[in-house]
Structures are given as structure tokens and as C-alpha cells.
């Protein structure tokens, strides 16, 4: 009997496509590489994401995209542009609830196989040095409280990628040339968290 090849759908924005790094260094591809190295069979990840998207823009694209469900796993990382544009957090919550419900549907109604990731704190980046980092951190925390509570309410998996990004001394190696988006080093950390989250849910 042939082994099952797992499928991964990743929904999001620039953090999901890996703005500023090669495609194979984005966290969805790095996670699949890590899982393949442990003898788990995986197709290349399917990605629906674009730099600058808010939850509303992602939701609009989801509604007008042909998918091929069910996927074994679905990730959702979205909201930094809502915060950046100072959009209302209640609108973010409504959009996120819709997106999580769609993600659960795409995962064959297996809520535990949907992984919501927290929004990184871009206020720690060199780009934000003169943009009130403390204010940004507080706003990001509020958005992450919202997405974490929704993940709990809807029984999905949740990965906090935000708190750990302060464990490494700030430096250019943690960011791409734009001083804003993470480097492959940071994406690799996220990928490890994702791979470790899905391993217990899989069969070889």
C-alpha cells in the first residue's frame, strides 16, 4: 500500500510567502523540508498569501480561489497589516473567525489540524527603531490575544512565534535587507515549531 503524501495549505501575507528570501527559505517550505527529513511524505506546500494583505483581503481572495480540499494541515498567519494600518481590532476578530472556519473546512473539518500562528512583533525590527516600538508591541499583543482566544474557542492548534523572537540578540542576520521582514534564520525557527506541532497528528 503506497504511503500517504500529506498536504499543507498556508494562508497569510508576507510572512507566509517569505518576503525577501528565496521561496525554499519561507517557513512553509522549511517545515516541509524538516518533516521530509524525518521520513514523513509531503507534497510541496500550497500557499495563498501576498505582501500587504489584511484579513479582509485574504478573505476576499479565499472566496474567489478554487481549492482542492481536504488538506491534511492548514496554517493561518494574518493580521500584521491590520495593525499597521490601524484597522479596528473588532473587524480583525470577525475576519479571523471567518478565516478560521474556512481553514477548518479546508482541513476536512478537523479543527486540530488547523494551526493559527501569532503575529510577529515588527516593532523589534530595525525598520521600526523610530516608530514607537513599545506602542507597536502593545498593539500586536492585543491582536494576538484576539487570535489566540479565537483559536481556543474553535479548538484549533496555536503556535506563539512572537515571544521567542526576542531570545536572539537583534542584528541584521535576523532580518532581510529591508530591515523589516525576517531572515531565513527566523523562518527556520517558525518552521521547527510548525513541524513539531503537526508531527503528533501524522502517520508515516
- Going from N- to C-terminal start, the domains of the chain cover 8-201
Give pLDDT, residue 2: 54
Tell me the C-alpha distance between 118 and 116, whole Å.
7
pLDDT at position 89: 97
The CATH code belonging to domain 8-201 is 3.40.50.1110
Residue 165: what pLDDT? 57
pLDDT score for 172 = 45
For the chain (length 204 residues), average pLDDT per consecutive 10?
83 95 96 96 97 98 97 98 96 98 98 97 78 90 98 98 66 70 90 96 67
> Which residues is 114 bridged to in the sheet?
74
pLDDT value at residue 204? 44
Q: How would you classify residue 20: left for phi > 0, otherwise alpha for psi between -120 and 50, otherwise beta?
A: left
pTM of the model: 0.93
Beta strands 46-49 and 73-77 are unpaired
Amino acid at each position: 500500500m503506497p504511503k500517504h503524501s500529506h498536504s499543507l495549505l498556508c494562508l497569510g501575507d508576507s510572512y507566509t510567502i517569505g518576503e525577501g528570501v528565496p521561496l525554499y527559505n519561507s517557513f512553509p517550505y522549511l517545515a516541509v523540508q524538516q518533516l521530509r527529513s524525518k521520513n514523513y511524505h509531503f507534497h510541496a506546500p500550497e500557499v495563498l498569501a501576498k505582501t500587504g494583505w489584511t484579513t479582509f483581503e485574504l478573505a476576499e481572495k479565499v472566496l474567489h480561489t478554487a481549492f482542492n480540499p481536504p488538506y491534511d494541515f492548514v496554517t493561518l498567519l494574518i493580521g500584521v497589516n491590520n495593525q499597521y494600518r490601524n484597522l479596528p481590532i473588532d473587524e480583525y476578530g470577525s475576519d479571523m473567525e471567518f478565516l478560521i472556519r474556512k481553514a477548518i473546512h479546508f482541513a476536512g473539518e478537523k479543527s486540530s489540524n488547523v494551526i493559527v500562528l501569532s503575529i510577529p512583533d515588527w516593532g523589534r525590527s530595525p525598520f521600526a527603531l523610530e516608530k514607537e516600538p513599545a506602542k507597536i508591541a502593545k498593539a500586536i499583543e492585543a491582536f494576538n490575544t484576539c487570535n489566540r482566544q479565537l483559536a481556543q474557542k474553535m479548538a484549533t492548534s496555536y503556535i506563539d512565534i512572537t515571544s521567542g523572537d526576542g531570545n536572539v540578540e537583534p542584528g541584521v542576520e535576523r532580518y532581510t535587507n529591508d530591515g523589516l521582514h525576517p531572515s531565513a534564520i527566523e523562518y527556520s525557527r517558525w518552521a521547527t515549531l510548525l513541524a513539531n506541532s503537526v508531527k503528533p497528528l501524522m502517520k508515516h
